[in-house]
């Protein structure tokens, strides 16, 4: 494997670290830090939109570098690869989790997150706030599982 493969793996790793780190930074640092701020809603909205943009860029980059890494490793990206061997099945599980993450991110970002902020000033946003919180948590859990599977795949774990 040449330098291009290692650059692709490095970029993949950095994008995953950025995405997971951002998902941890918002609820652990930003939300508590703005709890008593008088302009909390606007700051949450602006911060959320900024992270949403870069988060989706990171997810796109993870998709591209994931496929690139498979290509550089000489994997036959076919139905047979995903069904005829244990390694291929686990990579298929990773791809399925990635699709779930994309769906959960879309629901969190474009439905519950937006509604929670829109209804915050009206005082009746408990439902949307809870849904945004839980979709974010579930997405973070899926991201941790994906990162762990990536570690196993790259280090010859159970595959």
Span 48-81, pLDDT tens digits: 889 999 999 999 999 999 999 989 988 888 888 8
pTM of the shown model:
0.85
- Determine phi and psi for 73, rounding to 5 degrees: -85, 0
Instruction: List the structure tokens of 56.
Output: 């989706």
Average pLDDT over residues 127-144: 89
Asked if residue 151 has pLDDT above 60, the reply is yes
Q: CA 53, 112, 139: angle at the middle one, nearest 5?
A: 65
Q: What is the pLDDT of residue 36?
A: 87
Average pLDDT over residues 2-24: 95
Work out the burial of residue 16: count CB atoms within 10 Å of its CB; fewer than 13 is exposed, 13-18 middle, 19 or more buried: buried
CA distances from 71 to 78, 87, 118, 146 (A): 12, 15, 44, 19
Instruction: List the structure tokens of 8.
Output: 């692709």
- DSSP letter for 102, please: H
Asked if residue 157 has pLDDT above 80, the reply is no
């Amino acid at each position: 494997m040449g330098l291009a493969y290692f650059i692709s793996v490095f970029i993949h790793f950095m994008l995953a670290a950025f995405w997971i780190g951002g998902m941890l930074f918002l609820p652990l640092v930003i939300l508590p830090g703005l709890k008593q701020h008088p302009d909390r809603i606007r700051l949450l909205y602006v911060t959320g939109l900024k992270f949403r943009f870069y988060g989706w860029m990171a997810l796109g980059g993870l998709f591209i570098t994931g496929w690139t890494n498979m290509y550089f490793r000489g994997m036959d990206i076919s139905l047979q690869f995903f069904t005829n061997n244990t390694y291929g099945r686990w990579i298929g599980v990773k791809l399925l989790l990635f699709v779930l993450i994309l769906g959960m991110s879309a629901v969190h970002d474009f439905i519950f997150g937006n509604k929670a902020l829109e209804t915050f000033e009206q005082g009746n946003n408990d439902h949307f706030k809870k849904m945004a919180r839980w979709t974010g948590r579930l997405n973070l859990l899926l991201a941790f599982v994906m990162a762990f599977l990536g570690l196993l795949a790259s280090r010859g774990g159970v595959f």
